[in-house]
């Protein structure tokens, strides 16, 4: 019997998530395109900029981003790893507090301003309740990170996305989770006048029955639940201590392990 931890919710073999930074007003148009095609993603916001000219208003964060995840990006967009720890703490904890008042849920994710971080910074961020942080280091691959505080995306939207998506959808089911993670800034579509790039991508990528469309934190929570499974020595008993149903492959067939149960595979 072969067990593989390679399926997303519903037994789907692949997942797509988008991740956009800085909260400029162009996020409104981007979220509209994503909503039109059923694509989900995460918007990483600097709370000091909300309501300023060129940036999202607080009402827009509540209304326009309702179907997506609101996530942290620091209050004022500094190089966090260059700050004394107490100032980095203030940047992230205050950003969380301000964004949570709008989002109405605990904000647990972030992306690094400028994509920069250090090994010393990561435990400081963890201590603030942050569970993942996206970098800007494109992998061009489809894995999920061992350490979500170093969540390297698949690619920036301007970095060969069409070719990467083709490789993604034609890739056969593998032994591990298959995630396409695209990041960028919505103002790039405005400044480069290429909104058709993301509209075409969302039109092509949306509506597929083999892809789970999820926010960054939904990916994190699911993968964490999947990694919490425990197995008997003979592999016939599989425990899921988490609050989420998870799916695994047993001899190539999808098997749902309901939340909080121990599943027994009949011989
Ligand atoms: Zn930024």
Helices (H) and strands (E) in the chain, counts: 8, 14
CA of 74 to the centre of ligand 1 (A): 9
**22 alpha carbon – ligand 1 mean position (Å):** 5
pLDDT digits (tens, 9 = 90+) for 35-76: 999 999 999 999 999 999 999 999 999 999 999 999 999 999
Contact 182, 213 (CB under 8 A): no
Q: Structurally, how many domains does the chain consist of?
A: 1
- Name the residue among 254, 265, 267 with its Cα closest to residue 10: 254
Residue 77 alpha carbon to ligand 1 centre in Å? 6
Residue 265 inside a domain? The answer is no
Instruction: Give phi and psi for 34, each to the nearest 5.
Output: -60, -45
At residue 1, does pLDDT exceed 90? no
- 211 neighbors 8 (Cβ within 8 angstroms): no
pLDDT-based confidence at residue 149 (cuts at 50, 70, 90): very high
> 47 near 98, Cβ under 8 Å?
yes
The alpha carbon of 63 and the centre of ligand 1 are apart by a number of angstroms equal to 22
Going from the Cα of 60 to the center of ligand 1, the distance in angstroms, rounded, reads: 19
253 belongs to a structural domain: no
Strands 261-264 and 237-240: antiparallel
User: Do the domain assignments include residue 22?
Assistant: yes
Tell me the residue range of the domain where 155 lies: 14-215
In eight-state DSSP terms, residue 242 is S
Distance 112 CA to ligand 1 centre (A): 7
Residue 1 is assigned to a structural domain of this protein? no
Percentage of the chain modeled with pLDDT above 90: 97
Q: 91 lies in a domain?
A: yes
Distance 229 CA to ligand 1 centre (A): 35
* CATH at residue 199: 3.20.20.370
- Rounded to two decimals, the pTM is 0.97
Residues with CB under 5 A from ligand 1 (ion): 21-22, 113
Calculate how far, in angstroms, residue 105's C-alpha sits from the geometric centre of ligand 1.
Answer: 22
Strand (E) positions, 148-236? 155-156, 178-184, 211-213, 230-231
Identify whether 88 is part of a domain.
yes
Confirm whether 135 is domain-assigned. yes
In a domain, 68, yes or no: yes
């Amino acid at each position: 019997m072969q067990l593989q931890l390679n399926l997303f919710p519903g037994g789907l073999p692949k997942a797509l998530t988008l991740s956009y930074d800085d909260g400029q007003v162009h996020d409104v148009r981007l979220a509209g395109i994503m909503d039109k095609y059923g694509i989900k993603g995460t918007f990483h916001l600097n709370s000091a900029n909300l309501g300023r000219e060129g940036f999202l208003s607080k009402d827009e964060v509540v209304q326009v981003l309702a179907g997506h995840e609101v996530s942290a990006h620091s209050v004022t967009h500094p190089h966090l790893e260059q700050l004394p720890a107490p100032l980095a703490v203030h940047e992230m904890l205050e950003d969380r507090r301000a964004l949570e008042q709008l989002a109405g849920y605990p904000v647990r994710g972030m992306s690094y301003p400028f994509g920069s971080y250090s090994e010393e910074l990561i435990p400081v961020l963890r201590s603030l309740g942050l569970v993942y942080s996206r970098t800007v280091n494109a992998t061009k691959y489809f894995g999920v990170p061992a350490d979500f505080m170093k969540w390297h995306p698949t690619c920036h939207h301007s970095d060969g996305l069409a070719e990467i998506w083709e490789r993604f959808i034609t890739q056969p089911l593998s032994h591990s989770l298959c995630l396409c993670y695209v990041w960028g800034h919505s103002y790039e579509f405005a400044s480069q006048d290429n909104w058709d790039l993301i509209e075409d991508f969302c039109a092509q990528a949306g509506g597929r029955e083999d892809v789970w469309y999820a926010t960054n934190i939904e990916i994190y929570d699911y993968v964490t639940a999947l990694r919490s499974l425990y197995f008997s020595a003979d592999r016939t008993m599989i425990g899921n201590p988490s609050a989420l149903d998870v799916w695994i492959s047993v001899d190539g067939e999808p098997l749902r392990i309901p939340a909080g149960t121990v599943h027994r595979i009949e011989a």
